Structure 1
Amino acid sequence: MKVFTVIEFDSVKVETILTNMEIIEGDTLNGSLFVTAEDEAEHIDFITLKVLKMSGESYSIIGKHSVEMVGTIHTKDAEIVPFEIIPDERWGCLEGEKIIFQTIVTFLNGTEVKAEEEITYTLLD
């Protein structure tokens, strides 16, 4: 597992950890969110994970998962939120297209903070 994206806002830190950034057809995108905050998740409303297919300046959402900060696994220093996104045929890329994974943290006051990175998806022949 590797830290994929990190969002820091005020006293909140959200790390997105992926088990694998190179997904092969038939695999599942698995990971965890590690949320640390000084004040009870610092009023996080929810966290959205999106998988986007980018082609030039345009994009389409090809995967999405939302998490409310209720009933998560607690350690002494962080809340751990496991997630799983199952790819489908839309994840296959043509030349010039790429897959972007976004983590978006939405606070109760409406503020959104996001981070994104590229992942790869390989179709089997």
Structure 2
Amino acid sequence: MASTITPISIINYKKPCNIDLGSITEYFCSVLASDGSHNRGALKDGNLLFKDHYVQSINIYKQYTKRTISAKCRAQMKKSTTYQINMIINTNRLADILEGTCECVAGNGPRAACKHLAALSFALLDYD
């Protein structure tokens, strides 16, 4: 019998995700450096998306020390578009962001660094 993991809304999730500014910066810097980019615009733009309440429907899936966090983020330019975001973090200590994906053009691949992922990161930071 296959086991399914039930999502927990962030509203009902009682434990902190342990996301801190250092883990956000480390993830985005390492992804951008591996792509050969030094543009930090995703963090700045993501912070604005977070402050303007673009991130919605945050759910957490628990698996041992890993947490898969899924959310939706409204597009900044195309008001009717919503992107699905997924992030995997390791919660052993201060959370390490292991992977991040988004449906937007900049968010493809297992280690994306788009503004929508940054917005989710700031939402988790604010929640903790």
TM superposition score normalised by structure 2: 0.30
Which has the larger helix fraction? 2
Which is higher, the Rg of structure 1 or of structure 2?
A: 1
